[in-house]
Amino acid sequence: MKIISVESMILSYEYENAIADAQNYFKRRNAVIVKINTDIGMVGIGESACFGGPPESTKFIIDHELAPMLIGLDPCNIERMWKIMFDRTRQHGRRGIILAAMSGIDIALWDILGKTAGLPIYKLLGGYTDRLIPYASSGFYSEGKDSDKIAEEVSGYFKSGFKYAKIKVGRNPEVFMNPTHNMTDGDKLLYSLEEDLERIEKCCKAAASTGGRIMVDANNSWTVYTAVTMGKECEKLGVFWLEEPLHVDNIEGSAEVAAALAMPVAGYESEIGVYGFRDLIQKRAVDIVQPDVVWSGGFTECRKIAALAYANGMPVNPHVFSSGVSLAANMHFLASLSNGGILEMDQNIYPLRDELLKEKIEVAEDGFVYIPDKPGLGIELREDTIEKYRIA
């Protein structure tokens, strides 16, 4: 079997009411979907993360830089192709947009390998479980969502059966070096630390009444001092984990925060590749490791990150915040791990997650999410949804 073409397309959804975290003010969300075609008609599907930049840049790299390296090669030699892409882009790659672009190609190759073997990817990777415990990931800032409204929102998740819910903090201009000082729309939806604490407190109260737990995600927005001070308050409230408290490059600082708190520090979705995660893990800057298959280097790189986490006694809870393809891919990855944790399920309105797959991935009546059990990713894309949201 040989690769004959690699295609990419951009899907885009515009929000009526923008949502925000400490790093982004989302007026729209985009997904870059990758398709690899072979000479025997076998097709692989993947997704490349495009967080933080125009999706056109990621598409350009896939189409013009990476695709030509792969034409004519056997799609089942995935390690080899990963290394070709990594080595030939080294002088301007190694992390960032190149690895994110490579991730979508890697996922599509694993999809082909699974279809060739007749096995779902999680089984191909060793298969640890066929079902996952989900957590509701939402609690974003948006216009008019005060502390009562966000508590009401998380109550809804607990009532619908979730045992965990994550909320956003960190749009705090009073904090030195806060991302809002320089980001686009950094003057909107700003909160004091005290107001953030009130949001956390009310959500924890809502959680306690149902036996649920709250996670708090600061998206790279705090300093060591702020993270330790806020973290100790979160601890008292029973917060389950504190996510990405500091700038991702402040590894020593994050290790200080992790050492100062009994509550685990989770992160860092904004790190990429095994070398970056090696430093976070070895310096114990995190207690919970959060790569993302569509962002950190595909299955090929993420399984290495997971092995490193395993060797250091750390669980892996993948970051999942994009289309239905990204959800399926991260589910296969998580289900293959003996040190896998719980599944992030984005609860924001997002048709590219809910309407892109022919069979929507949902929480089952028993509270678990079951891994698609067909070969490869086990998913098919809906052409009507692609037509509706495709911009390139």
Provide the 10 A C-beta neighbour count for residue 143: 10
Block residue for tokens 């490349």: 48
The Cα–Cα gap between 244 and 217 comes to: 6
Closest contact distance (angstroms) between CB of 170 and Mg ion is 10
Of residues 21 and 111, the one with the C-beta less far from Mg ion: 21
Provide the 10 A C-beta neighbour count for residue 128: 14
Of residues 111 and 244, the one with the C-beta less far from Mg ion: 244
Active site annotation includes 344:
yes
Active site annotation includes 217:
yes
Among the options 47, 217, 244, 301, which is catalytic?
Answer: 217
Closest contact distance (angstroms) between CB of 180 and Mg ion is 16
Of residues 99 and 119, the one with the C-beta less far from Mg ion: 99
For the record, the structure tokens of 378 come out as 């086990």
Does residue 21 interact with Mg ion by CB under 5 A?
A: no
What is residue 180's DSSP assignment? G
Site for Mg ion in 268-307 (CB under 5 A): 269
- In the list 217, 271, 344, 346, the residue contacting Mg ion (rule: CB under 5 A) is 217
Block residue for tokens 């030509």: 68
Residue 47 φ then ψ, to 5°: -140, 140
Candidate segments 60-68, 229-237, 261-269, 347-355, binder of Mg ion by CB under 5 A? 261-269
Closest contact distance (angstroms) between CB of 100 and Mg ion is 16
The Cα–Cα gap between 314 and 328 comes to: 23
Cα distances (angstroms) measured from residue 194 to each of 82, 249, 300: 46, 26, 42
Of residues 172 and 385, the one with the C-beta less far from Mg ion: 172
Is the Cβ–Cβ distance between 280 and 267 less than 8 Å?
Answer: yes
Active site annotation includes 153:
no
The Cα–Cα gap between 197 and 102 comes to: 39
Closest contact distance (angstroms) between CB of 169 and Mg ion is 11
366: which residues sit within 8 A by CB, 6+ positions away? none
Active site annotation includes 168:
yes
Candidate segments 46-54, 213-221, 231-239, 296-304, binder of Mg ion by CB under 5 A? 213-221
Q: Which residues are the active-site residues?
A: 168, 217, 243, 269, 292, 319, 344
The residues binding Mg ion (CB under 5 A) are 217, 243, 269
